[in-house]
Structure formats: C-alpha cells, structure tokens
Structure 1
Amino acid sequence: MSLAFLLTTLVVVATPGTGVVYTLAAGLSRGRRASVLAAFACTLGIVPHVLATVVGLAALLNASAAAFQVLKYAGVAYLLYMAWVTVKDKAVIDVDQDSAPRSAGRVIVRGVLINILNPKLTIFFFAFLPQFVSPGQPHSVVRMLALSGVFMLATFVVFAAYGVLAASVRSHVTSRPRVMTWLRRSFAGSFVALGAKLAFTAR
C-alpha cells in the first residue's frame, strides 16, 4: 500500500461533504453514540459503490449519461429532503434522550442513503482505485477490495472523530434555542448547497 494512496484517501475523506455534515448533526442532536452510528452508516453506504466498481458496473454508469443523471438527481432530491427535514423537524437537532434508542435505525438508514445516492462516489472509485492496481497484477480484485477496505476504515475513523467532537460541545449549544435554530438552518443550507453542487456537476 502506497503512501500516495493513504494521503489521497485522508484528503478525500476529511474534506467536508454530505457525510460529514450528517455526522456532525447526529453528534449534536443525539450525542456520541449517534455520531458513531452515523459514521458507520455513511461508511456502510460506500459498500455498493465499491462492489459496483469491482464488478464493472461503474464502467456502465460512467458510459451511460442517462444512468448517471438518474442516480445524480435521486441524490439531489434526497439531499433536498434532508434539508427540509432538518429545518422542519426539531428532533433532527435537539436533545431528546428518551427517543435516542428508537431513532438509531433512522440514523443508520439516512446515513446509508446519503452515500448510496451519491454517484460521484462510484465514479471516484472507478477513477481512483485503478491508479493503485496494475492491470496484470495477480489477485487485482483482492487488492482493490483491500484498498477499498482501507478507504472505508479511514472514512469511519474520520467521520466518527468529527461526530464525537460535535458531541463534546453538545451541552454548550443545545441549551441555547437561538443557537439550535441557527444550527438547523446552517445544516439545512449545507444540504441544499451540496445538492446544488451535485446537480451542476458533470461526470
């Protein structure tokens, strides 16, 4: 495993995106446990993209403009939905210890969907992994899976760190209604901005 792969992975993972925003919101709303669940969910959402890359579906997605557009706008629609939910549903970023266990499944489902409905991840893996796997190399599929596993591990660790950090300042912000309102609007705005960025990006 090359140093270039590790450095590129850390840069990509640490760059704020939909997963980071979602994990931060989970940490602020439900605490450390929820932030770790959100990080795990976002990491789990990478699995379909890895499998698509390994079995060659990414090549089809990259070649088919229609397939890419369908998946892209499904992702945009879901990000806009997340923005609407964040603004309207105070439980998204609020203190409610009693509902935390019941919301664990919802935290995971939303986190998984955020990354599944991101076609740029598939394209990223399709363009990224082959740079570190020689075409004629024995067991190239196994190596691609191993590198993908490292990428997913880095995603979980970095996202969890973001979420735990947010959870550590939870008590300082959740007791201030104006701050919570501002946070809800900020996270909603972030989802809208990320959705717009996805909508206007080409393959």
Structure 2
Amino acid sequence: MDGGYHLLGVTLAAGGSLRWYRDTFAPRISYTELMDMAERSQPGARGVLFLPHLAGERSPHLDPDTRGALVNLSLAHTPADITRAVLEGVAFSLRSALEVISAIAPLDQLLATGGGARSHIWLQILADILQTKLIAPKAEEGAAYGAAILAMVGIGVYPNLETALKILPQDNNVVQPQANSLYEAGFKRYKLLYDTLKAVR
C-alpha cells in the first residue's frame, strides 16, 4: 500500500525454547532467576551450543522433522552455561533467518517484542549476535499489535503507515550491538549443526 514489502523469518520455538528448558530442567526457578543465571556464564556459553528446533523449523530450513540439541557438554559446564546456550541458540537461529533477509533488504535496526524483550541480557545477546540495533517498544503485544496497525491503515482508519505508527509509545529501550569474536566463532559452529545432526535423525 505504500511501496514497501514484508519479509518473514521464523524460529518456531524461540521463547518456547526457554519455556521448555525451564519447565523441564528448572521448574522452580523464575525467568528472572534464569536470566541472572545466564549472566554468570560468558558469551559463547563456554562452548555449549543449543539448536532450538524443538518444533521443527521454518527459517532458513523448511523442515518439520528437524529436532533440537544441546552439544559440546562436559562435566565442567554449569546450569549458567546451559541457560546462556539456550538464549544464544535462539539468537543464532534468528541470525540465520536474518542473513537471508539482509541479502534482499539490508537493515540497521529491529524491533524486539514479547516476553524475551523484557530481559536485558537476552536483548544484549540478540543485539550482539545479530549485530543490529534493537528497539524494545513499551507496547509488548508484538506481531498481533503490528498486524492490527496494518489493518487499520488497510481499512482507512489511518491514511498511511507513518501516521499509524505515531500511536506507538515513543519511550523505547534501545540496545546497541557490541562486537564479540566468541559469538562470531559460535555462529560458524552453530551453522554446521543442522546438516551434521540430520544424519542421526
């Protein structure tokens, strides 16, 4: 309607991975405590990698049969490392989808919505791995809220998208990316997991 277009990349179990991890391994620990725990590990989770394909995957692998994994575990790893690996694995998955999108439409910032956007550590992990500025708006409704705004433009409540976006609260949390070689190395190893683990399905 305004000359723009929509590109979609999906990690089917993004927040769902953290919920699964908490419900399965730490049911008495709050999400806030999990985030505090993740901060006690270091970027790269001391080598632990998590593949968040717990519900199959859509982007960039259109594969309903792929499954999740925790790899590189040792006796030296702690719950903090594994928790951080889950957060980083979701971020690596989103980066895999973003690489496809960026080749078509380069961008310099993203909106972060949903429950994960309330966590400073997860936002920083995402910004650092995606190497993109993240804006977490006060409106937490996420995709449904965005769809409603587009619909209001479509039916003429607002004349254009720019006018409609003015209804959003302007007080946003902005997270700038920081370069980290551990994340770059981790992402290279993460990209090997899908094809490597396909052989043992």
- TM-score w.r.t. the length of structure 2 is 0.26
Q: Of Structure 1 and Structure 2, which has the larger fraction of its residues in helix?
A: 1
Q: Of Structure 1 and Structure 2, which has the larger fraction of its residues in strand?
A: 2
Specify which structure has the bigger relative contact order, considering alpha-carbon pairs within 8 angstroms and separated by 6 or more residues.
Answer: 1
